[in-house]
Amino acid sequence: MDFFNGNTSGAFGSYPLRLRFAWIDVGPFLVGQAASLFMDYDVFPNVLDYEGPPGMVLMRQAIVAYRAQLAENLKLSVGLEQPYSDIQWMDGGGTVINPGTGIITQDGVAKNVQRLPDLTGNIKHTGDYGHAQAAGILRQLTYQSADEQQFHETGYGVNLTGSFHPWAFLHGVKTSAEDRSPLDKSRFLGQYAYGRGISRYIQDINGLGLDAAADTNNVFRALHATGWFLAYEHWWTDKLASNFTYGEARVDLPTTLPDSTYKSASYVTANLVWLPVKRLGLGVEVLYGTRENKDGEKGKGFRVQTGVQYKF
C-alpha cells in the first residue's frame, strides 16, 4: 500500500491509503490485485519521476493467472483480468462524455459495457545477460446507446519488452555474479507496445477515454495506440548510477473527438543517483516532455527534481 492517492481533504488534509498489491500465490496460480500480464515490471527504468515514460504499459488490477515453467529459463503466463472499457461518446448536444471521469450512467442513457474479462498472457525468457518478454491481450469493448443498442469492438495488442547488459556480455560476466564490476551492472531497457483498444493499459493515456469512441450517429470504433521507450542505466561506481530514458505515446484519433483531445507525447530524462549506504538513495533528475493535441496544438514542459528513497 501507499499514500499516493490524491489529497481529497483540502490543502492541509491527509492522503488516503491506496491499495497497490494484494494477492495469493499458490503453486502455478495467482489470484488477487497484481501487475497485469500485459506489462513487464522488470523494464521500469530507474527514474525519479513517479509516473515514468508516457508510453509504458502499466496496470495493476484484479487478476486470475496461471504460470507454467516451460524450461529452465522460459516461463509462460496466462490470465483473466478485470474488464473496463475506457471510451468516449457524444451526447445529443455534441458534448463529449467519458464515464471514467465519474459521470453516473443509468437506464435510457448511453454507457460503456464490458462483461467479458480481458484475456492476457506472456512468455518470458531469462538469460545470463538479460531477458526478453512477449505479451498479448484480447478484449471486448461494448458501447450501449441511449436506446439500448449495443455496438461491439475487439481490442487487441502486443507488448515486446527486454533488458540487456552489454558490458557484462562483452566481459563474459553473468548478471547473477556477485563480483560484477559497476560497468557490468549497466544495462539497456526497452518496450514497444502496439494495439487497438488498449489505451487504458498505457500509463499516459489511461483514464482519457481513448480505448474507443462513438459519435452521435452511433458509429463506434476502437482506437489504435502505440507506446514505446528505451532506457540506458549506467553505473559509474558501486554507489553512483545514472539513467537516461526516451519514450513516446500516440493515439490515432477519429475526426469526431474534440480538437483538444490528447494525441501524442514524448519524454526524455537524465539523472544521477548516489547510494551512500545500503538501502538509501539520493538523486537529482532533469526531465523534458512535450504534448500534442488533435488540432496540432503543442506544449512542452521542463523540470528539475530531487528525490530521497529508503527501502525497508
81 strand-pairing partners: 63, 118
C-alpha cell at 222: 476502437
How many other CB atoms are there within 10 angstroms of residue 33's CB atom? 14
Residue 214 has pLDDT above 90, yes or no: no
Q: pLDDT at position 12, please?
A: 63
Q: Give the mean pLDDT of 192-203.
A: 96
Residue 287 has pLDDT above 60, yes or no: yes
Q: Positive or negative CA dihedral for 94, 95, 100, 102?
A: negative
| DSSP annotation of 261 | S
Q: pLDDT at position 105, please?
A: 43
C-alpha cell at 210: 481513448
Q: Are 265 and 225 in contact (CB under 8 A)?
A: no
Please name which of 3, 120, 124 lies closest in space to residue 62, comparing C-alpha atoms.
120
Residue 100 has pLDDT above 50, yes or no: no
Range ranked top by mean pLDDT from 110-114, 167-171, 177-181, 219-223: 167-171
Domains and CATH numbers, the chain: 34-310 (2.40.160)
Q: Are 228 and 55 in contact (CB under 8 A)?
A: yes
First to last CA, the chain: 14
